[in-house]
Structure 1
Amino acid sequence: MSTPVTVAGKIFLIFYGLLGCAATILFFNLFLERIITLLAVVMKAVRLRRLRTSGLLPPGICQDFAASTLPGWKPSVYHVMLILGLSAIVISCCASAMYTPVEGWAYVDSLYFCFVTFSTIGFGDLVSSQNAAYDYQGLYRLANCLFILAGVCCIYSLFNVISIVIKQVLNWMLGKMSCLCCQRCNKANAFLGRRNAIRPGSRLRRGRFGQTPDSDGPCDSDTEGRRLSGEMISMRDLTGSNKISLAIMQKQLSESANGYPRTVCGSSRQNGFSGGVGALGIMNNRLAETSDSR
């Protein structure tokens, strides 16, 4: 039985799990950072070689100057996802080829075990290294440990890259929905504006048909003369709009002075989770789709 039975063992498991899980997440995040950096270096070198073979870069140019010609280049998240997916498939196939003869499982069951184990789902219906004795037992346990470690790291990195793709799809859907809402609001505002618009000569037409205005004060006569002359805004409206703009400017200045200015630029609305935490924070500004220039 592999579960703790005593009270001391259960208490020890709680504290050990806190430290162990935190250290495991730190290890996976560090692996993700290193693998993204390695893939970026390799893919940039491949891109420079393609530029040389295509004739865009001269063959005798130094490596540092050639690398400086692509200062803002970053690998695409789709290329990284493809490489990590192929790596996970290769590791799973090799591990399944080992589990099938040693454990006596079918090859599909071995693939199923690899995915459940590498993704840390862990149903427990298939468990390796449960027999009493194996042929080349030490070598098998070492290979089992290495396969599980490499598979978990690759699947963890692949899941994080897939989460970036899902975030892009959600941001695209939200952008489309906001565009549709803006178009509907603009159409509604345009319809109301045309409906409430005051055209020059409208009161003159009403007077011709025998309908007289209700008020005869000096302000109404001034407003009527202004409307008849074609002006669409009064001094009262102008001062009101100036007060609103001054209030907005004062609010922005106070927020800037307090140290938390609110930026409402288009890039922040587009990227959604611009900063990110955890694995998203590690991959932020390291891939082409998570850079600040987008």
Structure 2
Amino acid sequence: MSAAKVFTVFGSTGNQGGSIINAILSHPVLSKEYSLRGVTRNASSDKAKALTAKGVEMVSGDMEHYDSVSNAIKGSYAVFAVTNYWESPPSKEREVNQGKRIADACKEHDVKQLIWSNLPHVGKLSKGKYPNVHHFDGKAEVGEYIASLGIPHVNVVPGMFMSNLKANIKSNDGGETFTFSMPAPIDVKWPWFNPSRDNGNFVAGALLQPEIFNASNPVSISECSGFYSGTQMCKIFEEVTGKKINYFEIPKDMFIGFMATPEIGQELYENFMLVVDYGYFGPTVEEAQKGVEDSIEKFFLEGERPQGLEEYFKEKKSEFWGL
């Protein structure tokens, strides 16, 4: 019997990477085909030790240093890579450099399957209308760099994280009524996704189809459970919690003023406008919605769908809103 292929997972103790590790370990085929290696800054942390106890080889890796990245990847057949723009202070340049180090190391070590956690290039998609969504554009530029190196790869493109709804849904009267606030009209449909539960299910579906790993024309997998309008979301929230909720369209200036800096406010506002104008994944709202359904059908584990808002609200209503 041949040795298992080493699958190295960056961000192994985080939402996206942790979901992948759980999905591989629980899959009857992939758990035998791949041996898991988790990359983390601190291989002695409690989270890292918990993964070691599950049979994951945990290694320290610093994405600021090429030698560290290269050592983590050495011997890998497959790699999942994700970067975090929002580390303090937020920096597109740092994120792009981190992603390029991972790509260069994958090329050096002849990795056969690279899964890149990508996002749309908003500046290009909008033809310059929205030039400030740096946490998207940086990841897209790394994706372009990966393709230029000729590495067989797949892009996974996560939708809007459901965990952010904790901040978007608030009560000002002790939990009797709630307000769902977004900087867009109530009929705009948002692509919600729970990466900690479902990122791994999409990646597992991709690994079961090794023929899709292509160097010149990579597949992009649109990850979300579906698109929900403000009206639909309020209805689901009321049905799950029994509490009244109203929708509030935040004016642009007010939205930007809520943020830590005007620059971050502008970036996030343009990020929301990506959904309004292009359906988040692009290139149009209609094509984005079709792309999600195609991705679920082709890559999500057979017979399932990603977690929807109703189930998520049931799970989180106590933790998020004390209900």
TM bucket (normalised to shorter chain) is under 0.3
Structure number having the greater strand percentage: 2
From the two aligned structures, give the one with the greater helix fraction. 1
TM-score between the two structures when normalised by the length of structure 1: 0.21
- Decide which structure has the larger Cα Rg and report it: 1
Higher RCO, Cα 8 Å, sep 6+: 1
